[in-house]
Amino acid sequence: MADYVTPRALPIEEIPGIVAEYVRGARLAKEAGFDGVEIHNANGYLLDQFLRSGTNHRTDGYGGSVAHRARLTLEVASAVTSIWGSDRVGIRLSPGGVFNDMADANPRETFGYVLRELSKLELAYAHVTRVTAQDIAHGAKDGVGPKELRADFQGVLITAGGFDRAQGEQALAEGWADAIAYGVPFLANPDLPRRLRENLALNPPDEATFYASGPKGYTDYPAAK
């Protein structure tokens, strides 16, 4: 593994280049024949770092107030929709997540604001994760997630975060999510849609293979009979 690079504050004159890279990625995805793109604004990656008060200590037009911290997110979202059209662009947010040492002094305010602003772009959806038991074990607070932020986004809201079938059905029935995204269960169950539809037992995932190469844990899980 290569040595890590010490993070540095991004000079303001480099920010347009960052937006341009998102545009380039969106354009390449379109040329490759994809149906749309999801902007990754979660889990401690660059856009999330700008959005959260725990990591964004800037004093220019991209730091300080919620509006300034959300500026890069909104610029990227607007730029990507110029390539695809808003109905082919989604965005992923993790308001309660602490992965990569993320923190925010007021996630309800921060993510409520950005979701209201994103609503104006009429995106295909917002993918807002809920706090998981793993997040709580790493210091997250269970209280700010898609259920609390549902009213702030005027569009399709997808959520994810350790849902089983019953929990997913409950979220849909209660109306604070329009769809449930499954990650880990899909790794272990190549026929997950059928298993959920027919309420079949799921294969347990082998976590030791999650970040490994080779076919084990990738192509060897059996389908339901």
Which positions are annotated as active-site residues?
45
Contacts of 113 (CB under 8 A, 6+ apart): 66, 67, 70, 152
Distance of CA 97 to the CA centre of its chain: 10
Closest CA to 126 of 77, 173, 165, 170: 77
In the block, residue with structure tokens 């005027």: 154
DSSP-assigned letters across all residues of 136-182: HHTT--TT-SHHHHGGG--S-EEEESS--HHHHHHHHHHTS-SEE--
CB 214 within 8 A of CB 208: no
